[in-house]
A and B are shown apart, each in its own frame.
Chain A
Amino acid sequence: MSTAPATSHYSPEMRGPAVIGKSVMIKGQIFSREDLTIDGEIDGSVELQEHRLTVGPHGKLQAGVKAREIVVLGTIHGNVEASDKIDIRKDAKLVGDIKTARIVIEDGAYFKGSIDIARPEISKPAAVPAPKPAVAAPASPAANAAAASAPSSALSGELKR
Chain B
Amino acid sequence: MITSYRSTSKWLAVLPVVAMLTFVVAPTLNIFIISLNFESFAILTAQTTRSVVWFTMWQAIISTILVLLFAMPIAAMTANFDFFGRRALISVISVPFILPTVVVGVAFLEILPTRIHQSAFAIIIAHIYFNFGLVVRIISSRWQQINPHLDDVARTLGASKIRLFVTVTLPLLKNSLRSAGILVFLMCFTSYGVIRILGGPARSTIETEIYFRAMQLGDVSGALVLSILQLVVVGVLILLTTQFGTTKSAELSQMVFSRIRKPQTPGQIVLITSVASISTFVVVMPLVSVVRRSILIGQKINFSIWQSIFTDEEISKSLTTSLKYAVFTIVVSTTIGLFGACSIIYGSARYRFLNLLTALPVVVSAVTLGLGLIITFDVNPIDWRGAWLMMPIAHCLVAIPIVMRIISPTIRDLPNGLRDASQTLGATTWQMWRTIDLRIIKPALMSAAAVACAVSLGEFGASSFLVRRNNETLPLMISRLLGRPGEIIQAQAYAIATLLIVACVAIIGLVDHLGTEKNR
The answer to whether A and B belong to the same complex is no
Chain B positions near chain A (C-beta within 8 angstroms): none
